[in-house]
Structure 1
Amino acid sequence: MDRPHRSGGRHQTALRGERRRQRLRGVGPGRRPELSVYLLNKILYLLDNDADFRKRIKEDPEGTVKSFPLTGDEIEALILGDVGTLYKMGVHTFFLNHLGRYEMFGVNRDNYLERIRSHMEYDPRFELGAMPLQYVPKES
């Protein structure tokens, strides 16, 4: 920009050492947790929207997942189909449902709710049937 952003007339670059570092905290190199959650959501998004990616992940699940810069715990949770842990990590339930939809990593529509609820705090609405269903149950 060609003008200072505040009335004092000093640009950000004119700030002295310590004050400038304070403004840049958290911007430097290194992994940020938000990036991991984004990448996990992205993998599950691709699973639903990219047939080639879905084929690759069926053929080589571990290799495909390891091609993303995830931590060991994140890779393990995804490979094991541990939707409860992924949920606690911040992965959106909308995307987690894709695992059950495509029966990936041992998750299917029958065990999805059991797995995710095992990591959630108890809510009496589960027992009363007041919680919304994630899917339509199979008729026997």
Structure 2
Amino acid sequence: MSKYLLNKFLYTIDRDTDLVERYRADPAATVARWEAEYANRLLNCVDGEASTWLAFDDTERTALITHDYPKLFELGAHPFLTLTLFIGMFERDYTEPLGFQLEYARRLSHVRLPYPDIST
């Protein structure tokens, strides 16, 4: 398990509107493509520099594909990264103000202090 890789996925997807829309429409293909093309690229570095060992485990991959943000939080994904990405993806599906944020809070209401470790 790699909290770093989960957070890197959330961060990079959230910063590209095309990737956000692809992730919303076809999460399995987006996760697979991102893992193949982006997972081992170094953030903010020169093209061509990359690692070779980063990959999601089955639990992480399933949580990403199913948009299971409570599970992602349990796995150590940073809550601000999950919240901002999923607001961008799902806020439009709610008619009431702060609709998705309230849903996010409801689905994470079972989490008690101490929160899962979100350090990478």
The interval holding the TM-score normalised by the smaller chain is: 0.5 to 0.7
Alignment of 1:8-87 (within 5 A): 33=1, 36-67=2-33, 68=35, 69-87=55-73
Q: Distance in 1 between matches of 2:66 and 2:24?
A: 14
Counterpart amino acid of residue 113 in structure 1: A
Does residue 111 of structure 1 match 2:77?
no
2:97 is matched with which residue?
none
Q: Distance in 1 between matches of 2:70 and 2:18?
A: 27
**Identical positions, percent:** 33
1:128 is matched with which residue?
none
Unpaired segments of 5 or more residues in structure 2? 36-54, 94-99, 115-120
Q: Distance in 2 between matches of 1:82 and 1:60?
A: 14
Tell me if the contact between 1:41 and 1:92 (Cα under 8 Å) persists in the aligned partners.
yes
Deviation above 4 Å: which 4+ runs of structure 1?
Answer: none
Shift of 1:76: 1.5
Shift of 1:122: 6.9
Aligned residues: 87
Task: Give the superposed CA RMSD.
Answer: 2.6
- RCO comparison, higher one (Cα < 8 Å, 6+): 2
Unpaired segments of 5 or more residues in structure 1? 1-32, 124-140
Alignment of 1:83-98 (within 5 A): 83-98=69-84
SS of 1:110's equivalent in the other structure is helix
- State the TM-score, normalized to the length of structure 2: 0.59
- State the TM-score, normalized to the length of structure 1: 0.51
Q: Distance in 2 between matches of 1:115 and 1:79?
A: 17
